Every structure is written in C-alpha cells, then in structure tokens.
Structure 1
Amino acid sequence: MEATVKAVIKQENYYTEISAGNHTIIADEPLDLGGKDKGFNPMELLASALSACTLATLKMYMDRKNWTAEKIIVEIHLDNIRETKTTNINRSISFKNHNLTDEQLKRLHQIAEACPVHKALTGEININTKIDL
C-alpha cells in the first residue's frame, strides 16, 4: 500500500493544509505551543491513522466472517517522550451490541495487530529526506 500526501504551511503559525487526492485535512498546534488549535496536532494525526486502519481492518474481517457488532470503537493513547525518544501507544478496542465469542474476540485481537499501519509502526521504518530548491 502506498500513500502520497502533500502538506503546505504559509504565514499563519503552524496552520497546515494536508492533501491526498481530493481530500484535505487541517493540522495545527495547540495554543500553548503557539498554534491556534484549528486542527489535529501531528501526534493526533499519527494516532488517527492507527485507529482508522484498525477499524477498517476489523470491519473487513468481520464482514467476511459475517460477525456483527453494532459499533466498533478504537481509542488510542499515544505518549511521545522526547527525552528518551520513546513512543508508547495504548490501543483499546471495544465492540458494542455484539454476540462474539471469546475465541472470536481473541482472533479479532490478532487481526487488529495485522492492520497495515500497525505493521508499519512496528516494523522497520526508513525516512529519506531531500531538499528541493
């Protein structure tokens, strides 16, 4: 799976427009960091990617198996500790109004850990940067 994203910042402190295809989202920094809190901060965007991927992966699998839940909820708590260069991510998944067995829930736990963003975050990551003039 590939993704191409373009982000642009102009003169307003930290207000960033991020586009992919026909879609645009806003990122910003909170007030205490000099932003105007008009959008998700970068760590919230990272956590959002993991939650969205987890949900889509679970839903696709459940649909194939004809397993149902009225609602699937993923909550992510991401703690980026700059001093130790450590990031801790806690993911909580709940299924509302379901009749899933313990065995099915155990399988869904495995499926959640197989979502592409989870794999990317827990695998080797290479970031290659170039400056264009």
Structure 2
Amino acid sequence: MATSKITYTGGLRTSSVHVKSGNTIITDAPVDNHGKGEAFSPTDLLATSLGNCMLTIVGIAANTHGFNIDGATAEVTKIMAEQPRRVSEIRIDLHFPANNYSAKEKEIIERSARTCPVAYSLHPDIKKEITFNF
C-alpha cells in the first residue's frame, strides 16, 4: 500500500494525502526559488521531519523508561547551499519542560534524539546541529 499520493496543483504547489488517514499537507516553492512561500517547501518538510522524528523517538524512550516529555518543542532552522541547491545544515533546538530530569534521563533523551530514523536517513554531508535545553 502506498504511503501518500501527491498531486501537482499548479503554481509550484503540491497537495500530499496520507493514504491511511486522509490527512493533507500542502507545499509551495519558497520565495527564493520562484514560489509564493505560502506553505512548507519540500526542503522545509525534510528539515522539520528531523525535529518531528527526534521528539517522537524521545517520547517512545520516555514512555519506556517512565518519564514524561509532554510539552517538549523543537525549533528547526534549515540552511540551504547552492550548486547544487540542497539542504546543507539543519539546526534543531530542543526544549524540554522543567521537569528536573536525572542525568540518566538526559542521556536517554540525547541518545534517542540523535539516533532517530530520519537522522540516520539523511546524507552524512548534511550538518546536524542539535541543542538540548532542559
């Protein structure tokens, strides 16, 4: 079964439907690449996926080890390079709610975040700068 179905709707915009749930994501080309920038660009989604994956995997680890990260956030910054045009760096600032995490819990959080599937799937030339704020 397919994961998603993507339709080019014109004007440098796509609509992607998650087949199982029916949820939709719209993308636009960024302003600096002939687009309107009115939605996530495909490269925005790439960078954002890293933050989503990190928080998801940390959430799984937190559940497994009996602590809570509810309210944690990730601030994502994507850096583009030219020739070829590509994502060259992703900066993720992870913020965890004041919870007095133990040293072991902090270690679990950091290890889990750095070893999420998206992090392993990105090309090693993409610099990943991750900051943990407890």
- TM-score interval (norm. to shorter): 0.7 to 0.9
Deviation per residue, 1:94-129 (Å, 9 max, x gap): 211212023321221111011111111146xxxxxx
Give the superposition deviation at 1:48.
Answer: 1.7
Task: Report the aligned-residue RMSD.
Answer: 2.4
Q: Matched residues in 2 for 1:92 and 1:15: separation?
A: 29
Q: Matched residues in 2 for 1:38 and 1:86: separation?
A: 19
Contact 1:79 1:88 in 2 (8 A): yes
Q: Matched residues in 2 for 1:53 and 1:86: separation?
A: 17
Using the size of structure 2 for normalisation, the TM-score is 0.76
Paired position in structure 2 for 1:88: 89
- Structure of greater Rg: 1
Work out the percentage of aligned pairs sharing the same amino acid: 24
The unaligned stretches of length 5 or more in structure 1 are: 124-133
Mark the CA change 1:3 to 1:44 in structure 2 (over 3 Å): closer, same or farther. Answer: farther
Q: Matched residues in 1 for 2:52 and 2:95: separation?
A: 14
How many pairs align?
A: 121
Contact 2:61 2:108 in 1 (8 A): no
The unaligned stretches of length 5 or more in structure 2 are: 125-134
Higher relative contact order (Cα pairs below 8 Å, separated by 6+ residues): 2
The within-5 A match list for 1:55-94 is 55-83=55-83, 87-94=88-95
Which stretch of structure 1 is more off in the superposition, 69-78 or 43-52?
A: 69-78
Q: Matched residues in 1 for 2:4 and 2:66: separation?
A: 34
Paired position in structure 1 for 2:16: 18
